[in-house]
Amino acid sequence: MAVITAVALGASMGAVQPVHAQPAAVARGLPDFTDLVDQVGPAVVNIRTTERVTPGESPTGMDEDMLEFFKRFGIPVPNVPRQQSPRRSQPQQQEEQPRGVGSGFILSSDGYVMTNAHVVEGADEVIVTLTDKREFKAKIVGSDKRSDVAVVKIDATGLPAVKVGDVNRLKVGEWVIAIGSPFGLDNTVTAGIVSAKQRDTGDFLPLIQTDVAVNPGNSGGPLINMRGEVVGINSQIYSRSGGFMGISFAIPIDEAIRVSDQLRASGRVSRGRIGVQIEQVSKDVAESLGMAKPQGALVRGVEVGSPAEKAGVEAGDVITKFDGKAVEKTVDLPRLVGNTKPGTKSTVTVFRRGASRDLPITIAEVEPDEKAAAAKGGSGNAKPKSSSVAAEQLGLVVADLTDAQRKELKVKSGVRVTEVAEAAARAGLREGDVIMSVANVEIHNVKEFEAALSKVDKSKPINVLYRRGDWAQYALIRPAR
C-alpha cells in the first residue's frame, strides 16, 4: 500500500518574508450520531429467512461447495431446480434450513416492514427480530424484483416506525448512516457521506451512491440522514471480493414508498409500457439525423399493435420528451413510462426528419414475465435483384416486393434484402428484412432505393429504417474506411 507522507515546507534561504494572516476556514467538528441511533435504531429489524428442504438436500438445490462460492463472493444465490431424490419406501420429513439474513425497517406502527426483494425471494418462512429481541413470523405482502423492494407484515401493534425523508433535499457530501445486520451482526451502525445521486445502475431506479460501509446482511436496511429520516434502502455494493470496497448503493425512499404503496394495496406493482425498443443516441446517430447534440432515446423497434405504433411512433425516431418531461438519456424513458399508470393518456415528443412533433399516446401495462414475440422473416420469390455500386458498397442486395410478400409482411412499400454482407451485416441487417427508408427518405421500390443512396455521402454513417417480422427497426450502417 502506498503511503503519502506529509512534509513541512520551510522558508527559502534569504530574508524572512512576513506572513500575512489569512481568513480562517470555518472549523467543523465530526458529527455525533448517538442521538440518531437512539431515535431510529428501535425501528430497524433483523430478517432471517428459511427454506423447507429434505434432509441431506442443500437449500437452493446446489452442492455445499458451490453454495459457499456464492456466499464468499457476495453473489446472489440462484434458484436451481432440485434433482429428485431416489424414491424411498417411506416419505421423508422436510425440515427448515437457514436461507439468508438481511435487514429491514418498520414503516408503520401496525407492523408493516420494508426490505429488499432479494432478501425474501424464495423463502418459505420469514422471521423478523426487533431490537427488544421479540421475534415474529412475517407474511410477505408483496415483492417487486424490478425495484428490489418488498413489504412484509408482522402481527404486532404500537411499534416504533421510521420517519420518511425528502430525497430531493439530499445533497452530495452530506453525512448519512446505515443500520443493519452485516454478516448477521444485529444493529450494526456505519457512517459515511453521499458520494453521488442518480446513479444509473438499474432499469427503473436511479440509485444513491454512498461510501457507508455496507456488507452482506445490510440489504434492506435504512439509509438515514442527519435529521433522523430514512432517505434510502441499502441494496447493492460494488465489490471484487464480496465485501465492502467504499461504494454502496441505496434505493431512493420516494421511489421505494411508491412501490410499497402498490404492494400494500394489491400485492403487485403496475407499470406502464409503450412498446418500443430503444438505445442511446450516439454522436454519429445525432449527426445523421440532424440533431444539434446527442440526447433522447433512439427508437430501434416498434411493437406491432403497441401504444407506440398506434400513436405513430416510428423506428428511427428519437424520443426527446415524455409527458412534457425531458428524456436526456435512454434510461430516463423506461423510468418515466414505468411510473405512469396504465390507461393514462399522455404525450410523447419525437424528433423525426429534422423536426419535433408531439404524438398523443395511451399507456399500456407491463405484463409479468413478458416475452417478446419471435421475429419472423419474409419469404416468397423476389423480382430481379438490385446490384448497384452504391448498394454493394454497403453490402446490400435488394429486390422489389411482390404483391404476395406485401400482403404476408403487412407492408405497403419498401425493398426486400436478398443478400447482406460487410457494413450492412455489421449494422445487424439480415436477409429477408424489408428496408422502408434510407437517410430519412421513404422508399417504395428498388429504383427509389438506389436514387436515395446516390445522394448520400458514403463516407458517413447512413441511417436505415427496416421491418423484421412484427417489428419496425432502425440501424446505422457505417461504411468501411
263 and 400 both lie in a single domain: no
3-state secondary structure the chain: CCCCCCCCCCCCCCCCCCCCCCCCCCCCCCCCCHHHHHHHHHHEEEEEEEEEECCCCCHHHCCHHHHHHHHHCCCCCCCCCCCCCCCCCCCCCCEEEEEEEEEEEECCCCCEEEECHHHHCCCCEEEEECCCCCEEEEEEEEEECCCCEEEEECCCCCCCCCEECCHHHCCCCCEEEEEECHHHCCCEEEEEEEEEEEECCCCCCCEEEECCCCCCCCCCCEEECCCCEEEEEEEEECCCCCCCCCCEEEEEHHHHHHHHHHHHHHCCCCCEECCEEEEECCHHHHHHHCCCCCCCEEEEEEECCCHHHHHCCCCCCEEEEECCEECCCCCHHHHHHHCCCCCCEEEEEEEECCEEEEEEEECEECCCCCCCCCCCCCCCCCCCEECCHHHHHCCEEEEECCHHHHHHHCCCCCEEEEEECHHHHHCCCCCCCEEEEECCEECCCHHHHHHHHHCCCCCCCEEEEEEECCEEEEEEECCCC
What are 472's three cell numbers?
A: 419496425
Tally of domains within the chain: 3
In this structure, is residue 103 part of a structural domain?
Answer: yes
The CATH number of the domain holding residue 148 is 2.40.10.120
163 and 138 both lie in a single domain: yes
Relative to beta strand 434-438, strand 462-468 is antiparallel
In this structure, is residue 87 part of a structural domain?
Answer: no
Cα–Cα dist 187/201, whole Å? 27
Measured CA to CA in angstroms, residue 284 lies from 78, 147, 299, 475 at distances of 40, 33, 15, 12
Task: Detail the residues annotated as belonging to a binding site.
Answer: 118, 148, 217-219
Weakly modelled stretches of the chain, pLDDT under 50:
1-19, 24, 26, 64-65, 67-75, 83-86, 88-89, 369-384
What are 76's three cell numbers?
A: 446472489
In this structure, is residue 89 part of a structural domain?
Answer: no
Q: Which of 332, 365, 398 is the last residue in one of the domains? A: 365
Specify the pLDDT at position 9: 32
255 and 361 both lie in a single domain: no
Specify the pLDDT at position 73: 44
Q: Which of 296, 331, 365 is the last residue in one of the domains? A: 365
Q: Are residues 464 and 438 in contact, defined by beta-carbon separation less than 8 angstroms?
A: yes
Judge residue 247's burial from the number of C-beta atoms within 10 Å of its C-beta, 0-12 exposed, 13-18 middle, 19 or more buried: middle
103 and 244 both lie in a single domain: yes
101 and 204 both lie in a single domain: yes
Task: Detail the residues annotated as belonging to a binding site for substrate.
Answer: 118, 148, 217-219
Cα–Cα dist 260/114, whole Å? 8
* 142, β-bridge pairs: 151
254 and 289 both lie in a single domain: no
The CATH number of the domain holding residue 350 is 2.30.42.10
44 and 183 both lie in a single domain: yes
In this structure, is residue 28 part of a structural domain?
Answer: no
279 and 262 both lie in a single domain: no
455 and 354 both lie in a single domain: no
* 362, β-bridge pairs: 345
262 and 277 both lie in a single domain: no
In this structure, is residue 10 part of a structural domain?
Answer: no
Q: Which of 334, 365, 396 is the last residue in one of the domains? A: 365
Measured CA to CA in angstroms, residue 157 lies from 108, 140, 272 at distances of 9, 17, 35
Specify the pLDDT at position 263: 94
Domain that holds residue 353: 272-365
In this structure, is residue 85 part of a structural domain?
Answer: no
Hey, which residues are catalytic here?
Answer: 118, 148, 219
Q: Are residues 429 and 476 in contact, defined by beta-carbon separation less than 8 angstroms?
A: no
In this structure, is residue 255 part of a structural domain?
Answer: yes
What are 428's three cell numbers?
A: 445487424
Per-residue pLDDT tens over the stretch 57-74: 555 555 544 544 444 444
297 and 350 both lie in a single domain: yes
319 and 345 both lie in a single domain: yes
In this structure, is residue 431 part of a structural domain?
Answer: yes
User: Does the pTM exceed 0.85?
Assistant: no
Cα–Cα dist 170/183, whole Å? 28
Per-residue pLDDT tens over the stretch 128-177: 999 999 999 999 999 998 889 999 999 999 999 999 999 999 999 999 99
Q: What are phi and psi of 393, to 5 degrees?
A: -65, -30
